Chains A and B, each alone.
Chain A
Amino acid sequence: MKKYINAHILQYFFILLLFALTVTVIEARIDLVYKLIIITITIFVYFFWSVWHHWEDHTLTTSVVLEYLTLTAILLWLLINLAV
Chain B
Amino acid sequence: MSKLIHYFLPHEKNNHKPFFTRHPGLATILIFTLAVQTSINVFFSTHPQILGFATSIYQSEIITLTNNQRTNSGLTTLKHNTKLDEAARMKAQHMFENDYWAHVSPDGVDPWYWFGVVGYSYSAAGENLARDFDTSAGVVNAWMASPSHRENILYPNFTEIGIAVVDGNLAGEDTTLVVQLFATPTPSSSLVVNPVEQDPTPIPTLAPTVVPATPTPNTVIYPTNTPVPTAALIPTQEPTNQPTVSPTPSLEPTPTTAAFVINDDSKTTYQPLGGFTTTPPNPLSNTLSVIGHISSLSAGRIFSIALTVALIALLVSESAVMWRKGLKHPHAHRIVHVGILVLTLLATLYQAGGSIL
Contacts and interface: CB of A to CB of B under 8 A. Distances in A.
Contacts of A19: 339-340, 343-344
Interface in A1-59: 1, 4-5, 8, 12, 15-16, 19-20, 23, 26-27, 29-32, 46, 50, 53, 59
Contacts of A71: 26, 337
Interface residues of A, number: 34
Contacts of B23: 63, 66-67, 69-70
A23 B308 CA distance: 14
B307 interface: yes
Given A67-B26, A82-B351, A20 B343 contact: yes
Interface string B305-343: 001100100000000000000001110110111011001
A71 B350 CA distance: 23
A23 B332 contact: no
Contacts of B171: 29
Nearest to B327: A1
Interface stretch (B28-36, B44-52, B137-145, B146-154): B28-36
B223 to A, nearest CB: 24
B48 to A, nearest CB: 19
A20 B343 CA distance: 7
A77 B347 contact: no
B347 A32 contact: no
A27 B173 contact: no
10 contacts: A1-B332, A12-B333, A12-B336, A16-B343, A23-B346, A27-B347, A29-B173, A77-B34, A79-B344, A81-B348
Interface of B: 21-23, 26-27, 29-30, 33-34, 37, 171-173, 300-301, 304, 307-308, 311, 328-330, 332-333, 335-337, 339-340, 343-344, 346-348, 350-351
